[in-house]
Every structure is written in C-alpha cells, then in structure tokens.
Structure 1
C-alpha cells in the first residue's frame, strides 16, 4: 500500500496545526460559527444531532493493521468505543468533543491518515473496487490511479470550493464493484484497439435528491492524459455549475441540462488548452504502482484437503465459506469478508475491541492489510485457504462472522434520525427489523442475492435508489413514513429503482418487506435472482401484494 513521503507528511502535519489554531480561535469566540463552518468542513467535521461527527478518509478503502489500531484507539479514547464504516469506504466517529478533534487529527497523522476533504464542496475520497489487485476478473489494478488522483486533488486550489461535493470512482474489473455509473466521474479501465490499457470516462452520475445514471463522454482515454482530462471536466463544472441552488448544483444536473454531446464538447475544448501541460508520465505511474505490487504469495495447491474436510464436517463453517468468501486470483488463497451486519447492530458499526482484533487477524492471515467495502463490511483479501477455518473461528468469537454477505440481511444503511441532523426518519431500527425476519438462514439463503439499501432522507447516503429494494424515510407531519423502490442496481447494468407506491407507515414496513419476499418466491423462475425477476415481471405483482394486504 502507499506510504507517505516527506511532502505528504508535511502537508498533513501543517493542516493539523492550522486547524488546531482555527478551533482554538473559535472556542475563544474570535471566529463566528459562520466563519468556522467552512474551516471545520474542510477537515471532515460536521455538527450532528447530538454531537460533532468526524469523518476520516480511508483512500480507496485500504487500511494497514497499524492504521486500524489507531482507529480503534480513537474510538476508545475520544468516542464511545466504536466507529461507523460508510459507503464511501471511510469511517465516522459520532461522539467526539469539538475541542479534542485537533488532537484526534494529530493522532491520525502519526499513521498517515487525515480527514481532509471528507466533507465540503470539494473532491472527496476517491473510491475503488474492494477486490482490487486480487480479483480474477481484473484487467488492471485500479488503486495506483486512485492514489495518483488523490495526490492531484488534495488541496487543489482550483477545486477547493466547487459548486457542490464531487466524487470519483475507479474500476479495473469486468464486474463493476465500484459503482462507477453513479459517480460524478466514473473511470473504467479498458483496452484500446492497440491493446494498450486506458480509461472509459463516465460523467454525471449521482444519487441523492435527483438520482441519475452517468453517461460516457470518452470511450478511451490514454493514461498519460488522465489528470489533464479530469481537470478539464472539473474546470467546466466549476465554470458552469449552478451555485444559486444547492439542489441543482451537482455536475449531474449540468450534464443533464447541457446534454451529453454539448457537455463533452466543452470538456474537449477545455482539454485541448491544457492537455500538453499536465501529462502523467510513465515514470510516475511506475513509481506509484510500485506501492501496490503483489504480496509474496506462497506456491500453494489450488485445492486444500483440510479445508474440504472442515467444510464437510462443519455446516456453519461451510455456510460462512460459501457466503463470506470469494475466489482469489492466486491459487491456494481466498478473499474473506468480515461481516459488520450481525443482528441488532447498526450496519457498518464496529467496536474498538473488534478493530484491534481484526488488525491482529490481518497481520496473522492477510499480510497486515484490511479493506473497507461500499457495502459497509471489511475484507481480508489474501488468506490462505488452509487458514480459513481458524480465521472463521476467530471472527465468530468476535461476532464478525455472520454468514450473510450479499444477502437480504447484509443491509446498507445510513445512520438516519438516530444521529444525522438532516434525516427525516430512522434507518437503523428498520434495518434491524428486516434482519429479524430471517431467524432461519435457510429462508435467507433461499432469497439469494438481494441488496437492500436504506436512507433516512433524500440525500441518499444509504444509496436507496440503487438498491434491489430501496427504502427512503420521509416525514409526514412529524411521523416517520417510508417509500419503497424496486429494481435498482449500481453494478454493470446500473438502474434506478422504481417507486412501488405511496409511502408506508413505519409500523407497516416489515410487513411490506415480507410481502415483497413472498411475491418474489412465487414469481421467480428456477434460480432467478431477485433483480432479474423484478426486471422481467415489473413491479405490478409486488404492488398488488403490498397494498392489497394493507
């Protein structure tokens, strides 16, 4: 993984010292709340319902065991003993004291971490595939390009005050696990006609109040032009993006209003003026790629007899292996998921004790690295197959081995009204209520691949519009109601969910979900997945069951 050089460390240390002075001036009354607000947002600090919330950047979701231990220490010392992993591969702390935030940032800087640009109208954390570097379907590891983008965009003076927040995702695999089509810019590594690898460039995707699937504006971009082309897109957005209405300020609105062709023409015109001034040379690509070389894998047999025996004799382990691990590109290894979705816990929450323990497990079994997924789970990406049973036992003891990855109980959820000052309704209780439906794993597994996403407001931090089932909390005269959508996806054939019907009262949501599950079981063909069934039969059968039963 990438390690700071002197420039990186100096930049972060200076930003910590700067914010410490700003915070002291604010607490002394020398800065007003209005003056302090943009300064704290530049450093990832929000004011939530009950306390400040600090969002810490985890670039492209990659952590070292040392960094995870620091996150545990911060949770223990400055919060209430836990952190919350987000859909942007970051971590949030919901209970820090304002006066202690500069000290937290000082601690983060000692392990090459920060909170810069995790909030505000700037380029946010660049995200990627959580299987980058180990996926069997990968054309090329996208993480070096994420790191190059991170270095280019951090404290970029031209893009510090954009019309609105800006998000970039990079994928290098055939299967899009980075949701590139619903980002402001999505970059997909592809091969050109000459066999060289470059980028397909998508723009104008986004969720929230106005969800839109991104459009392709360049089918192939040479790697040497990556930064100049990104800069051209950002310049066009900075110049023409709306600033008079925050709900119309995202680049997706600009692309929609101009149209795909006209937007692309403006980018190309801007790019023509700067393309030769900001070239990404191969030496720099090679330098960054050197940080992401394959680990020293052992030569192992593709099949492991001891593993096979454990799967045969232990049904619980076999279920975990089937649902919480996937194939690795190196024979003898496997990717293991750490489920942060046990029953009764807010999706994505992890205690300090669990973080410390997973850091230990990463060092023992996975070269000391941990990844954060978009689905609010963790990954140990490089586990020997012969170690999987021991790893499963350790995770089980930590309540981190719920065998539910990719199932209906592996729910994505924002913090909702329990924490967020923007929320209209709670999210966590709805997620917990749905999980309680599955007292039988057989019932859960019978439903197959089913993604449920929950958001407590139109900002859509739970990505409800691209859930196979999406749930959106709305306020009706002070009461919590929920809109349900079906048929969304952020994968290769990305789609936005279609609204099922009128909002449903909070007490009826679980009943509606049971009706949806039952309708799917009746309508599906053989092993047809939920999304395939919805796309084939439409939402009418689900409407009839849900609203007919009301």
Structure 2
C-alpha cells in the first residue's frame, strides 16, 4: 500500500485526509490528517523547522569541534535527543529546586547518552566496546535500563563522534534512542534459544529496524513511541505498557504469530495497553508496526505535550475504530482474528540457569538496580569469550542473560558471574528491585534512587531473611525519582514515587508516595493491574526499610493461602498498608 501520509516537513505536499474526525472540544489538537500540520507549540515548531535526524552532521562537524557553548538551544534541548543525548543534572542542586529552576539552570555541560540494544545479542567484542566507551569517555558509568538500553553519563559533546565510530564497529547505535521517535525496542532476551519459545521475534525486529529506524518520515511523531516484541510464554517484555506490542501466540489455523496490543504507557496518567483482537503473521509484522506508528504520526494529538501519546488516541477512538483505521487506511487488508496470549506462569526476568533448545544453557544474572560500569562490561566480555558462550542480552528488568553456555561450563559461568557481582541466585529483593536514574543525573528527579534502593535491598535481605521461605514469589520493588514512572512504579508490588515530604517536626526531606499491588505479565490466577495509590501516605527515604518490612510482615501474617501480594493489597484495609 502506498503511504499517503504527510511528510515530516509541513511545507511538503499534503494529501487530503481520508476522513475527518473533529475533536470534541472544537479546538485543533494538532492531528495532521485532521487539523493540518501548522505547529501549535514550540516543540512542534522546532521539529518542523529541521528534522531531528539532521543534527548528527552538526554534532560531527561543528559542535564536537567548537564545544558545548556552540550548541544552539533547539539542538541542545530538542534535536540532540534524536541521537540519544540529554544534558545531565548539574551536581549540588537539591530536589526541592527541581521544579523551581529552568532547564538551563539545572543542566550540566555533560550528557547522558543512551545506546539501543533492541534485544540484540551482545558479543564479547560488543561488550568490550561498550565497556571501553564507559571507561574512556563516561568516568566508568554505565547502567542497564528497563528499556534494555545501556546508558552512560559524563559524556562530552567533543567525544560523541568517536563514541559513534566505536559503536558502528559492533553494529550498535544511538539513532532515535530518545526524542519524538520510535525509541529502542524491547525484545525477548531468550529469543531463538528458549526450549519453550512460541516464535522467534529476532527476524521481525531486524526487519523493522532495517526498514524504518532512521527513516526521516518517522522522525517527527507527536511524542515518543515504544515497541515490545516477544515470542516467549513468560511475557518478558512488559507488553501491557508499550505503544505497540507483538506477543507470541499460536493461531488454531495459521500457526505461530503475534497478538497485537496498542496504547500502553505509564507516566502521570497510566494506562494499560489493549488487544485489538488481531492476529499478525510473521510476514505481516513489519507492515503492521509501520501502520501503527503512522497512525500515531498522522492522528496523534500534538497540541498539548501531556496528551501527545498513543494511549490518548486509543482512549478517544476505542479498539474497534483503531483496528478499522489500521486495516483500511494503512494496511489495505484485514487481519485475521486471533487468540489472546496464555497467562504467564514463570518470571520474565530469566534469572537463574535454564536449558536451551540446543542442549546448552542460558543464565540470567542480576546486577544491583541495573548498575554495571565500564570495567564490569569489559570483564563480562572476557568471560563470554573464555566460556565459549554466544553473548549477552539485556532484559526489561535491568538484568542480563548470558546465552549459549556449553553444558560443561555452566558452573564456571555461574562462578564467573558471581565474581563480577552478577548474582544468578540473588535474594528476593535484589532480584526484583529496579530504579530509575534519579537525582544523581536526571534534571526531572527530586530524590536519589539508585543508592537509596541499593541500601534498602541490603537492609531488607538481612531483616526479612526469616520470611524468605514464605515469600513464594519475589516482591517487585520499584523506585522512581519523580512522577514520570521510568521505573514503572504503578506496575510494581511496591512502588515509590519520589517527592519532598514534610516530617512530623516540619522538616522537608527526600521521600516517596506509595503505590502497592501493581502487576504485569499476568500469572495463571491474576490479570495485569495498576497499583493502589496511598495518596495521603508518604514515607521518607530514611524510613523506607522500616515501612517495607512492616507491610511485608503484615502480608505474610494476613494473606489467604496462595494469595499474592498484589491481590492482598487491593483488598487490605488501608491501615494495614501504612
């Protein structure tokens, strides 16, 4: 089907819209195929003036040579994101000032740089390249994010071209890692190797990337667009909270393929994605992905940034209309109806030792809250080579999975990972805790997250050791530095949203609002659900271990047989949750 949607350049010829859907408010919402392409705010203006992908040439030829002060404002605070670059927070600015200062007052002259992995296998050489970038350019910093990215800090603009050159040698990139673009994909970490896999998503991810990542026609979306693709029954890519997810299923007549989900996202207005009831064959998957992202481009709301996500368009249209538009305006054919995924009965983090379909093993290991560092990445690459393993994939839970370990080297692999601080048998809280970047580097953050979470893990695993046999499933603990939920607080058993809180004696200190009982990747007995918010209950950062211990002990005491923490919190009296 010919793509008749408008160019990312609003001055280009724009065809007549195939149908008009006026907004209920009567105001233009910035929907290109309804309202036209005239920009309605400054974000839309700078994107219309120059495609964000074009800034790479200026970084290479001007900014890296002339330094930070030569960078124009719209490039620095806008288009740099199209290549994975954000300015990081200037040290010494406390969280109480986050909302009081302008971005230029908060930012340092250094950058966070995000590298896409897209579920790809990282070879020994790739791991050493990633480690070397951290050591040589990032003061040893490197984190695994819950989007399967590697994230660096302390990056100078002068060094960015050299970093890109190194990434190119191992097939990695920062292209559209941030910005109003198709960002990095979540892919099953055990794609192609798991013995119980339904379908290998690797070819689909590769085809979408080859055809569409870096396409100028997809570089001006209303806002970010997140993708998840898995063929594993553990539902290991948090498919319910992505803009589009393709989830492996078996159609009774058509065989293995994908169930299509759209419109999931969290932030300050969380919404779980919804099934369209459509079955997607492997050979249709790239076209379907392209159709959904173009619907977002052409019909997404652009007037207000806080409404510029696909979830708001889905809410306005509903699943039936969304599927109709996808099939009639973008695909040109109807998709078959298909089954829903089976509920997961196993964790999607893949921690531990598992047998592959070829007789070798994959081994999931847990760094603490995703923090790895350049030295660790380099030594991990050496370990992969020494073992004769295939490589490493990152997970959506800030973990990593070592793949292709020969049968006679499994214990050597476990020991080698432990020596690196990567536990294959972590305690329940180390295994299940994730944390966002926090105030250490993020300009939006209000409180510390990584170090706070690490301290909490240590204390809980000491204090609650007596309860470990009674905790039959890990309790997910997610710590976020601001309301935007990069650490998925609404989907955790125990989620903390950073804010400044006032103590009983009137002092303002770092603390958190509490969310309890969220869950994703539905189990045999429960549906995915957002957590319960205790709006009037705040916990200081210092009191986190006491609070968590208190709630967990009440859960163990008052739960019904086989009842999950999430189910208990949704029926418990609020007093028991304080």
TM-score by length of 1: 0.81
Compute the displacement of 1:258 (Å).
Answer: 1.8
Q: Distance in 1 between matches of 2:478 and 2:249?
A: 29
Q: Secondary structure at the match of 2:362?
A: strand
Name the structure 1 match of 2:33.
Answer: none
**Contact kept in structure 1, 2:116 and 2:173, CA below 8 Å:** yes
What is the CA RMSD across the aligned residues, in angstroms? 2.6
Q: Select the residue among 63, 68, 89 that pairs with 1:49.
A: 89
Q: How many residues align?
A: 479
Paired residues for 1:378-527 under 5 Å? 378-401=400-423, 403-404=425-426, 407=429, 410-435=432-457, 436-439=459-462, 441=465, 443-444=467-468, 446-447=470-471, 448-476=473-501, 479-492=509-522, 493-506=527-540, 507-526=542-561
Q: How far does the alpha carbon of each residue in 1:110-157 deviate from its partner, in whole angstroms, 9 at most, with x for none? A: 222211110000001111111222223311111211111212221122
Distance 1:327 1:348, change over 3 A: same
Compute the displacement of 1:360 (Å).
Answer: 1.7
Compute the displacement of 1:35 (Å).
Answer: 3.7
Q: Distance in 2 between matches of 1:167 and 1:99?
A: 30
Q: Secondary structure at the match of 1:462?
A: coil
Q: How far does the alpha carbon of each residue in 1:192-217 deviate from its partner, in whole angstroms, 9 at most, with x for none? A: 23243322111001111111111112
The answer to whether the aligner puts 1:361 opposite 2:383 as a matched pair is yes
Name the structure 2 match of 1:67.
Answer: 126
Q: Select the residue among 123, 137, 142 that pairs with 1:78.
A: 137
Q: Secondary structure at the match of 2:511?
A: strand
**Contact kept in structure 1, 2:555 and 2:565, CA below 8 Å:** yes
The answer to whether the aligner puts 1:238 opposite 2:297 as a matched pair is yes
Compute the displacement of 1:190 (Å).
Answer: 2.1
Q: Distance in 2 between matches of 1:141 and 1:97?
A: 38
Paired residues for 1:109-508 under 5 Å? 109-273=168-332, 324-330=351-357, 332-341=359-368, 347-365=369-387, 367-401=389-423, 403-404=425-426, 407=429, 410-435=432-457, 436-439=459-462, 441=465, 443-444=467-468, 446-447=470-471, 448-476=473-501, 479-492=509-522, 493-506=527-540, 507-508=542-543
Q: How far does the alpha carbon of each residue in 1:29-79 deviate from its partner, in whole angstroms, 9 at most, with x for none? A: 665222444331111110110331111111215311111100111111111
Q: Distance in 2 between matches of 1:241 and 1:222?
A: 26
Q: Secondary structure at the match of 1:389?
A: helix
Compute the displacement of 1:408 (Å).
Answer: 5.6
Query: Which deviates further from its counterpart, 38-47 or 118-127?
Result: 38-47
Q: Distance in 2 between matches of 1:331 and 1:524?
A: 42
**Contact kept in structure 1, 2:517 and 2:531, CA below 8 Å:** yes
Q: Distance in 2 between matches of 1:64 and 1:533?
A: 38
Q: Secondary structure at the match of 1:417?
A: coil
Distance 1:373 1:171, change over 3 A: same
The answer to whether the aligner puts 1:540 opposite 2:572 as a matched pair is yes
Q: Secondary structure at the match of 1:520?
A: helix
Compute the displacement of 1:163 (Å).
Answer: 0.3
